[in-house]
Amino acid sequence: MRRRNLDPNQQDLAEAAALQRRRYRDLQRQSRVFDARLRTIGIDKEALDTQIKDRKIQEATQRACDESIAAEMKQNDKVLCMLDERQKKDGQILNKAVNEFRKNYQQPDTRREFDLSDPQALKKDTPARLADNDPRCTISGLQKFMGEDLNSGNRWKFQKEQTREWLLQQHKERQNALADKKSADDLFDKQRLELDQRAMKLQIIDEETRRAICVATEEFNKALAAESEEKRHLEKQQQEEDDTAEIFNLLQGDLLSENPQQAVSSFGVGRIIANRWKGMSQDQLKEIRDIQMQQVLEKLRLEEEEHQRNAEWDRKRIQEARAELLYERHQQRQKRELRRILDNANTQLSHEQKARQAYLNEEVYSNFPSGQYYTQFNTTSR
């Protein structure tokens, strides 16, 4: 019905195309039929098809394995990027909180000695500090802080020397790690035959190791999240305690408990007479020292926690790199084993083909026909 709807020109073109296709298929068939090599010698097509199928299965297996490894590596890289981003965000939040605390609670106008400061006092008085043990450098004077002593030059020099020692120690540890890696490679070369025999067992151990790494990574992430939550809770509690302590100190201080009229100046409200002010008590000085010591201990604790986290991350990265190296070596051993099996199969097939060809030449094709016998063939492809 479709051909009746076509015009004569299109019908002629379709018939010509169909005739051309039949002629082309007939020519291809004649080339196959008249090929003397294929007709007289022949090939083991089933064996070749089996080899091609096995090769495709091996390639598909290897491709799937490579894709799974690549996906896992991408997943690990993504997890590492997320953890680095989370660490950066935590650092930014901590710095922001510190800056907010300084902005809200450590302004110059909130100091108790702000009204006692004379802008021209430094021009009239002796230097603020003659030595580190100057009795005038009291805590309330704010003339001496941690890290600003006169011996800071020697301390910086000692810190630089300590840093250089740490770098040398790290270089030595790296050299030791390279030496251990080289010795491990030598040991692997010596035990290569034994590891080839235990390929299946190592594959099972490798799978268990990968599962253990995944479980350890998940547990570490949970522990890190719990640690971060506990840290935020402790910081909030510490902040509340500091605020309560500050309010209590303000209420129980000498400036609020004593009579303020004895030190009021006649120049205006808010001014006092310096020679009538009794100064800070020993309890207040001790409290300031305790707070400073507490801040120093808190800073040391935070640095120690940061160092422990960095060490834990380094250990995790080394374990993952070592597991990946073992897995790559295992894959290489499997490739060598598969190659050896394929070579043996090809060698066996070659021997079988040679034996079959010898059998054909000696037993089957022992009685060769005359030339007149071949003249009746190859006259047509049908």
Distance CA 213, CA 326 (A): 14
How many domains does the chain contain in total?
A: 2
pLDDT given at position 44: 60
Round to whole Å and give the CA distance between 279 and 258: 11
Q: What is the pLDDT of residues 97-131, one digit of tens each?
A: 999 888 888 776 666 676 577 666 667 667 666 66
Prediction pTM value: 0.22
pLDDT in tens, 144-197: 677 666 777 788 888 899 999 999 999 999 999 998 888 888 887 777 777 777
Domain that holds residue 330: 320-361
In a domain, 245, yes or no: yes
For residue 350, tell me if it sits in a domain. Answer: yes
pLDDT tens digit sequence for 201-245? 777 887 888 888 888 888 888 888 888 888 888 888 888 888 888
Distance CA 344, CA 17 (A): 50
Model confidence band, residue 1 (pLDDT cutoffs 50, 70, 90) = very low
The SS3 call for residue 271 is coil
235: Cβ–Cβ under 8 A, 6 or more apart, which residues? 97
206 lies in a domain? Answer: yes
375 part of a folded domain: no
- Give the contacts of 233 (CB within 8 A, at least 6 positions apart): none
Integer Cα distance of 52 and 276 in angstroms: 105
Q: Is residue 143 part of a domain?
A: no
Q: Quote the CA–CA distance of 177 and 175 in Å, as a whole number.
A: 5
Q: Is residue 32 part of a domain?
A: no
Residue 244: inside a domain: yes
> Do the domain assignments include residue 291?
no
